Every structure is written in C-alpha cells, then in structure tokens.
A and B are shown apart, each in its own frame.
Chain A
C-alpha cells in the first residue's frame, strides 16, 4: 500500500491517506466490505473551513440520495456551505456523535469525525494520487477565489 500524500495549501499541509478513496466534492470514502462505505471531509476541506461549530442534515437516516443532492449545511468560524452527496447512494446513516458536537470533524476527520455511511457504487472515485493531481489543478483558481472573498470581508 502506498504512503499518504501531502498536498501543500500554501504552508498548510493537507494529508491525504492512501487507504481511502476520494470524491470531487472533497470528501474521502472508506470502502466497506458489504457495499456500504463511510464518508468524511478530506484534510483539504477541513483546512478551508477551519473550526466547525454547526452541522445540520437535511435528509433523514435511511433515505436514498442522488448525486449532488443537497443533504445538509455546515458552518465554521470562517465559512459556510451547503453539503451535497458525493455519489448516488441508498440507506444513508449519519454519524450520531457529530450531531451535538461536530468538533471531531476538525480533530479527527479520518476516524471519529466521519460524516455518514451509505450503500453506493464507488467505482468513479479517485485514489490519493488522482485526488492530489485534482487539487493541484484547481489550487490556483481556488486560492484566487478564496482570496477575493476574504478581501471582500477585510475591506469592510
């Protein structure tokens, strides 16, 4: 098994473990033996958000979700975002321990900070190397956009 990769966001390292798959919406996916897989935020996503203090799901445990369906909302000290399903899936189950305290997303995103699990076809996901290349390709634009937004705030 290859080692984890480290993507540098400026000076901040985002660790990309090699034992999980990656989705384009910056979630990792840990394949399960029974066709049910676990999902969580990648280090890259966590770094963009920083301290998460509010997490809300808009679908219920057991629901089926469509690709890119809006399934929740997250708010952190710096950012907010709607959350979307990375894949089409069935019988989604959310991590109950995050509901009262989402801080594990920051402290332990690859283990206790997992977001949800569901049955899904994960053949379209990326491995760590592909995700690294994907981040690299989008980093310049992402940086510019984020900087624009931050400047907007700073000018006020």
Chain B
C-alpha cells in the first residue's frame, strides 16, 4: 500500500498579495493532485512548540515536501531543530537564473551532521521565491512522488535480497512487506492556520557546523547551549534579540542562519544565489557604512546589551579566534551592489 506524499505549505508572514496569490493557486492545484495530502500552516519560522501546525508536522511519518518562503537549507535545519528530522531531499527545482558558470564546486561537508537518529524518510524543502506560478512546484512534487515510490520499491528489493525467504521461513513475521500504517491524528485546518507571533532566532546547519563553539562564547544572551554530548544547540531560541544576526557573522563556517535576515548569505542562501531578490533600499534609507563582519557583530551585540540595560563589552568578551583572514574573500555580486550604493555617499 502506498502512502500519500505529505505536502505542507508554509505561508509568508505579512499580507503580501502576490505571495498569498501563489499560495492559493498552489493549494488549489495540489488539492486536485492525486497522491498528495496538502496542508497549510503559518510561517514555519514563527510557529512555537505549542502550535497545532508544528504538532502536525511532528506527526508526519513519511516523506514530506515543505514549501516555504525560506531558503531550502534554512527550512530543513529549522525543522531538524524542532525534532522534525529526515534525510535532506534534493530538489531539482532551480530558479531560472542559476547560471551554470556560477556553479560553485560542491564543497565537501565538514560539519558534524544532525544529532540523534535520522528517520529513514526524506524531507524536501522548496523555496516559494524561486517561481511566481504554481506549475513548476506541482511538476517537482510529481517528480518527488515518483522518486519516493522508486525508493520504496528499491528498498523492498534490497530487503528481499538481504533476507532470502528461506531464512525468514519459520520466524515470526515482522510485517516486512507493507509499510506500517500509522493512523494520523486529525488536525483541524483552522487550528493549523492559527496566527503565530513573529519569532527571531538562529538556525544551525549541522552539515557545516564543526562544533567550534565560537557562537556559544560570543552570544551573551544565553541563546546557545550544548547537549549531553557537548554539541552546540540553540537552546533558548526566544532569548535571541530580534533583528540581531551577530553570531552568524562570527561563525567561521557560515553555519548559522537567520532565515529572515535581509542578507541572503545570512538567511541561508547557498553562496552566490541572489535570484529573486527585491531591490534593497537600505543604503538609500540611511543604512550604516559597510564594515567587516566582526566589527558589525560586535556593534550589534553591544546595541542589544545596552538595550537590555547591561554594559557594552566591545571586543573584550567572546571574540572568535578562528576568523582571521575571513574578510578577504572575493566580492560577490551583492557586495558590488552595496559598494555601488556606498558611492552615493549618504
């Protein structure tokens, strides 16, 4: 028996009519799609542990596609942190502008990897900013269904090869043929969509994180902690200071993402991906001068300390030891754009 593929649509915060429009046409198309169970939840990033939408996500046993207005890496690791784990499903969906020559060579992953046991299922996170119509997403979901079906078939074959019938004869059957059917709890669509307050916290990409613990030293608000194996963890998400991305700047591996920060590299873009961005007027509207990452991080942290009624610490506390030479990386398109804006001399 084959289970339907769970597709979860995470709404954009705010009331952007274009975004709502895409969400609605996607939902309409997916409801008609055979083999798909579609549910709509508020912005993934904002749902707290008590939100029905999050409990629903936690209850999904098999493969899952999550459509959100977040970069795929950010959405995947945000779910992982919430205990919604799986293998990273590789999407073939690419924004049309992806230049072949821009393709950076895949860096080998140096991170420590996800904690705990990773269930044998795949989670595909698709970015709703890649296309402004439903069709490419629906096609990709069809492809994923086929891929998932093939995977299950292959697993059954492997299993059969590994356990010849001869050996299993006479042993208690472990119900190896059919996928166990788990009764999904019922969730009310309105509860799923209950508005969620805006939240702000870092998300760690454990495929990049080397557990160097620089972030733990740097953050003075108690956001980070370690688990029982001394691995870094965003322990107290809601102690994080709204708008402050300082720890992601000091991370030597750029493993820390703030999914809703304006700079794509901090929001979890793969380096170089700037497709679909809106015009950023921040420089015109009085944004500060560009400074190196560490200076920016220290200033951001000091500002939050002062806002909390504490003393600014400047460079005196928790300064990373591993960032030397970091600021000398070649400039990307975005950096050049920012330099252009600097020419305005605002």
Residues of A within 8 A of B (CB): 23-26, 45, 48-49, 53-54, 56, 58, 63, 68-70, 73, 75, 77-86, 138, 141-142, 144-146, 148-150, 152-153, 155-156
Contact = CB atoms under 8 A, between A and B. Distances in A.
Contacts of A24: 286, 346
A86 B307 CA distance: 19
Given A79-B280, A82-B287, A70 B243 contact: yes
A78 B279 contact: yes
Give chain B's interface residue range (CB within 8 Å of chain A): 35 or more
B326 interface: no
Contacts of B285: 25-26, 45, 81-84
B103 interface: no
Judged by DSSP, the binding face of A is mixed
Interface string B315-346: 00000000000000000010001001101111
Interface of B: 13-18, 95-97, 198, 242-243, 262, 274-282, 284-288, 303, 307, 333, 337, 340-341, 343-346
Contacts of B274: 152
Contact of A69 (B198, B262, B303): B303
Contacts of A86: 286
B279 A82 contact: no
A63 to B, nearest CB: 8
A68 B242 contact: no
**Which of B16, B303, B333 has the most C-beta atoms of chain A within 10 angstroms of its own C-beta?**
B16
Contacts of A25: 284-286, 346
Given A70-B243, A138-B344, A156-B97, A53 B17 contact: yes
A150 B284 CA distance: 15
A82 B262 contact: yes
A54 B13 CA distance: 9
A73 B330 CA distance: 29
B279 A149 contact: yes
Contacts of B303: 69
A156 B287 contact: no
B281 A79 contact: yes
B280 A155 contact: no
Contacts of B277: 152-153
B344 A145 contact: yes
A145 B341 contact: yes
A111 B18 CA distance: 28
